[in-house]
Structure 1
Amino acid sequence: MYKKGILLVIFFLFLLIPFAHSESTYWYKDAVFYEVFVRSFADSDGDGIGDLRGLMEKLDYLNDGNPNTTKDLGVNALWLMPIFLSPSYHGYDVVDYYDIDPNYGDMKDFEEFLAEAHKRGIKVILDLVLNHTSSLHPWFKSASSSFLSPYRNFYLWSTEPPKNNPQFWHKTNTGYYYGFFWSGMPDLNYDEPRVREEVKKIAKFWLEKGVDGFRLDAAKHIYDDHDKNVAWWKEFYDYVKSIKKDVYLVGEVWDSQEVIAKYYYGLPSNFNFPLAQRIISSVSSQYNLNLVDFLLDERSLFSQYNPDFADAIFLTNHDQNRVMSVFGGSIDKAILSASIYLTFPGTPFIYYGEEIGMSGAKPDEHIREPFEWTSNLKGDYQTMWIKPIYAKPNDGISVEEEDLDENSILNHYRRLVNLRLKYKALSYGDIEKVDTKDSTLLAYIRKVGEEKILIIHNLNRVKNNFSYPLPKNYQVLYSRNSKVDKDIILGPFSSIIIKI
């Protein structure tokens, strides 16, 4: 009898293994990320440039470590845009992968920041630029100085001006080198085994420092061949997993869903650019462009390459016009689009300032303007590394102005993030389309186990009603300009989230 009892316990424990694995090993499936441009975020020393100590001292704005409070944004993971030594303001041309940009602080500052983030339960990933280096990197300076340099094969060279794609080849005294993005960013040669070993050493260094993963810049540009790219990223992922079992990698593969899908064979996560564009297009046009069907088709495709994929969902990032500018300054549309992607399956990424309604359009410097802490754009922690053209004093767009306004975009983001992390159906539950018979409505159910949540959005600028057989014990978790009466009444650009 005793043996039968033991066997029964073991059997039930075995059944629970998949659930424990998905919730504990893959922490990023239950994460909400915040993309930070350190230069623009928080300045601790008054020089106008954001730094790591400023970010550390403002962590409570992002997550104060107490799940019972509601005044923090609630995100539990950070993506830091490049923080390595670089000659540029943006940092995507690295000179030294083992050193911190002195504008941001030093290694001690980084270590203290990382410890404080982890203390609050915040994971941290770094932007790792491995497709190319700066032309001022010691490897390239040596490689370009002599045909006999030990680093010559770290880069791609031609002795004659190439006839194919000549715009990508740049002249030096020792030949022509390949740089896809520009002459200051020479591409690395991944057919050289020493390059592969060096970039693995870089990853190992930062993982042993305690970082939780990497965002992989220009992931599809390593080779002009997707299959070779995927093979390399699989090799890299296998290597970093040997150092940190639960490491998170997310690739920047700015392409169609068919191309993105291939990269799931090598990587656990990739940014979903097509979905972001479809969400924005649906909100802009005020018509549901079959969003749930599109998402389900994507997820089916991705799962063919990696059944355990983690879809990285977002609206816009540091390379795109800010969502507020795309919507012509409409707070209503910005909140609506957030309400959609923050209730979709996947791992959401919020671009800094998106949560307070910051605007910005190309050139790049002005989609990366200083974060707006105060109404007058002055005071403690306010950065001013560039003169902003979108941020205006007392325009209602700042943490100070929005903090106490219950209906501000900031407080809507706080509520949405809090709900996503509280209800597991919203984090990693399945999604099921609800047929509304109305192209201006978007409705779906998220469910995991016994937990079911109904989400409805009115994409239209006029009021709409929707009839749905709610159970007697339904609970409205979130509503904006909407309510439940005999029908569900949805005001213009509104959302409602109901536990059913």
Structure 2
Amino acid sequence: MKKLISLLLCATLVGGCVLTGCNSQESSGSSKAENAAVADPIENIKATASDDKYRNYYEIFVNSFCDSNEDAVGDLQGIISQLDYLNDGDPNSGDDLGIDGIWLTPIMPSKSYHKYDVEDYYDIDPDFGTLEDFDKLIEECDKRGIKVIIDLVLNHISSNNPLYTKAVEEVSEGKLDGNAEYFEIHKSDYFDSGTPTNSLSNGYECEANFSHEMPEWNLNSEKTREEFKKIAKFWLDRGVGGFRLDACKYYTNKSTDGTEFLKWFYDTCKEIKPDVYMVGENWTDDSDIQELYKSGIDSQFAFKFAQSSGLFVENIVTQNGVAAVKKVMNYDKKMKESNENEINALFLSNHDQVRIANTLEAQGLGYEKLAASLYMLFPGNPFIYYGEEIGIKAPNTTSDSAYRTAMIFDTDNMPSIFVNGVGDEFDEPTGGGVKQQLADKDSLLNYYRRIIKIKNQNPELARGTITGMQSFDDKNVGAFYTEYEGSKLLVIHNFSAKESKSIEITDDMIKNAVVRADLVAESSDKHVELKDGKLTLPAQSTVILKSAE
């Protein structure tokens, strides 16, 4: 309370402004009062590193992140060289992005550039490095408090994988009780007419929903499950924190209950590593996602909110904060009905989608900043797609490879990474690369850094439960409560692109409320003030309120 009174007195001294900023032309006689008035609410709050499953994840498409040996391909040593950018090991240093979780897209041997058709589940693709390089990556991440999860492809396999080539050979010999049992190999009339398959010998086919190069595992087979247990143990024993499971949507088919299979796999992994974290890719409707949550899996990506056609962009462009908050709250509530321990996994775009900057940059930097604070401040684990934090755009919107271009650390020293189908020429982000944006206090990158710092200072944001919305009779203003271990925060977003909002805060909302944190899109020098129960929130900005301690 004393802190609040002090802030209010300081605000009075500068003429009652509710959104304040330093002015270098002011006389020195008023400088002390102004400095107090513009005090950053997060400056003296200690951030705490995560020691549980709640993390700020960063998706790295390994081919495109950082090339350590100048062969035009990103690699594991390249990632190691940039770890201090992601996390320097000190949550209070303020010198890094603050990432404490990394998702690596497939790293196992494959002839494709994307590596989702795995030829060997027990090794590293030579383009990316060696198992020794991987061990070093895990070691360095552990030093910094970063958990690494790897993409694990259990729905399909490479047609060049020896297990599959042996199965094809055995089927031609009429042998069906060997390697054929690993895969969805059946007589032709077993499959529905629209099911993609590979034709084999003697009237047999193998299901292949993605391509002929990706035949599908038989998830019911005891042989398959024994192999998967070995694969999981191999990587968990090597230090990974868990798995991103590709294509969970296809786990269920004519003969497989996907929920039963996923429960088996999740439980199997927990026996190996009790705190294993698992997130599934399931781009389908809510009812199917709810069903798969019954397996106990920690997270599934919330696709409906992501990409240019998703609900976040829709609500940001239409400036409807109430709708955005309500939709996330209702979605999270539904998923928790199936799994009370569900950790929502929100994101803006990923390696299969047009980058979010392609949609929002033309609207203005404030739109990109609002999108970041929106999805990252809901409870759960947000997933940042590499380069999103500096506004990288795809060179075109028609091919997956265009969404996977090189990370840009310095626009004065552009990378020479080659990306299949796109080449090695990329547009510079409007705000520059990492180096340039670190030097710009109002850059998108520094906004992301501030968001993550605020999250590390306030465990209620990631770990809390959304207990309700707060209405301010204004569709632009979306607000919700999150509670964790008896502590409650009120998160308020102003979706208006131009208008500042004057909001009344009462003790019925938050008793003896103080500004715990703010994110002002216009300028990092400006901060939100709560005075006499009145809060003024600038356009496209966010404030977090808490009871005075």
- The answer to whether the aligner puts 1:359 opposite 2:359 as a matched pair is no
Contact kept, 8 Å, 2:252 with 2:259, in 1: the verdict is: no
* 2:496 is the counterpart of 1:496: no
Cα deviation, residue 26, structure 1? 8.1
The equivalent residue for 2:404 is 368
Which position in structure 2 is the counterpart of 1:287?
Answer: 320
Matching residue of 1:8: none
For 2:529, give the aligned amino acid: V
Who is 1:42 aligned against?
66
Distance in 2 of aligned mates of 1:341 and 1:410: 15
Measured after TM superposition, the shift of residue 54 of structure 1 is 0.8
Is the Cα–Cα contact under 8 Å of residues 408 and 414 in structure 2 kept in the other structure? no
Partner of 1:6: none
- Note if contact 1:53-1:109 (Cα within 8 Å) is conserved in structure 2: yes
Is 1:415 aligned to residue 415 of structure 2? Answer: no
Say whether 1:458 aligns with 2:482.
no
* Equivalent position of 1:336 in the other structure: 370
| 1:199 is aligned to 2:228 | yes
Residue type matched to 1:156 in 2? E
Contact 1:33–1:75 (Cα < 8 Å) also in 2: yes
- Indicate if the aligned counterparts of 1:34 and 1:78 stay in contact, CA closer than 8 A: yes
Q: Identify which range, 85-94 or 427-436, moves more after superposition.
A: 427-436
TM-score by length of 1: 0.89
**Residues 424/25 of structure 1: CA separation in 2 closer, same or farther (3 Å cut):** closer
Cα deviation code 1:3-34 (max 9, x no counterpart): xxxxxxxxxxxxxxxxxxxx9998113x1111
Partner of residue 28, structure 1: 53
Instruction: Give the TM-score taking structure 2 as reference length.
Output: 0.81
- Rounded Cα–Cα distance in structure 1 between residues aligned with 2:50 and 2:360: 38
* CA deviation string 1:142-172 (max 9, x = no partner): 1122322721222223444777234502224
Q: Which runs of 5+ in 2 are unaligned?
A: 1-47
Distance, in Å, in 1 between the alignment partners of 2:432 and 2:402 is 16
Give percent identity, aligned residues only: 34
Partner of 2:24: none
Deviations 1:364-411 (A, max 9, x none): 0011110011114536xx634455688424743310210110010000
Give the equivalent residue in structure 2 for 1:188.
217
Alignment check: 8 A CA contact 2:155 2:247 kept = yes
Question: For residues 426-478 of structure 1, what are the alpha-carbon distances to aligned partners after superposition, in whole Å with 9 as ceiling and x for unaligned?
Answer: 12123231102111221223333454433222222221313122666613522
**Worse-superposed segment, 159-168 or 456-465:** 159-168
Query: In the alignment, which residue of structure 2 is the partner of 1:87?
Result: 111
What runs of 5+ residues in structure 1 fail to find an aligned partner? Answer: 1-22
Count of aligned residue pairs for this structure pair: 475
Match of 1:300 among 317, 333, 347: 333
Contact 2:411/2:436, CA 8 A, preserved across alignment: yes
Identify the residue that residue 144 of structure 2 maps to in structure 1.
120
Higher relative contact order (CA 8 A, sep 6+): 2
What displacement does 1:193 show?
1.3
Q: What is the rounded CA distance, in whole Å, between the counterparts of 1:180 and 1:224 in structure 2?
A: 11
Deviation at 1:225, TM superposition (A): 6.2
Question: Within 2, Cα distance between the matches of 1:226 and 1:219?
Answer: 15
Q: 1:155 to 1:323 in 2, by over 3 A?
A: same
Shift of the 261–466 alpha-carbon distance from structure 1 to 2, 3 Å rule, reads farther
Instruction: Give the aligned residue type for 1:282.
Output: N
Q: Is the 8 A contact 1:377 1:393 kept in 2?
A: no
CA shift, 1:490, in A, is 3.5
Q: Is the 8 Å Cα contact of residues 82 and 92 (structure 1) preserved in structure 2?
A: yes
Match of 1:15 in 2: none
Aligned match of 2:97: 73
1:179·1:186 contact (CA, 8 Å) conserved in 2?
A: yes
Find the structure with the greater CA-based Rg. 2
> Does the Cα contact within 8 Å between 2:108 and 2:120 map onto a contact in 1?
yes
Equivalent of residue 484 in structure 1, options 529, 532, 535: 529
Whether the 8 Å CA contact 2:196–2:207 is kept in 1: the answer is yes
TM-align CA RMSD: 2.5
Residue 318 of structure 1 corresponds to 351
2:482 aligned counterpart, secondary structure: strand
Could you tell me whether the CA contact under 8 Å between 1:331 and 1:357 is conserved in 2? no
Query: Structure 1 residues 390, 43: closer, same or farther in 2, change over 3 A?
Result: closer
Which residue number in structure 2 is paired with residue 97 of structure 1?
121
**Stretch deviating more after TM superposition (487-496 or 186-195):** 487-496
Residue 169 of structure 2 corresponds to residue 132 of structure 1? no
CA contact (8 A) 2:515 2:530 kept: no
More divergent stretch after superposition (361-370 vs 142-151)? 142-151
Aligned to 1:9: none
SS in 2 for 1:53: helix
* Stretch deviating more after TM superposition (348-357 or 219-228): 219-228
Question: Residues 459 and 25 from structure 1, CA distance in 2 versus in 1: closer, same or farther, beyond 3 angstroms?
Answer: closer
Aligned twin of 2:76: 52
What is the correspondence of 1:148-167 to structure 2 with a 5 Å cutoff? Answer: 148=175, 150-160=178-188, 164-166=192-194
Are 2:150 and 2:240, in contact at CA under 8 Å, matched by a contact in 1? yes
Give the drift of 1:249.
1.0
Letter in structure 2 aligned against 1:464: S
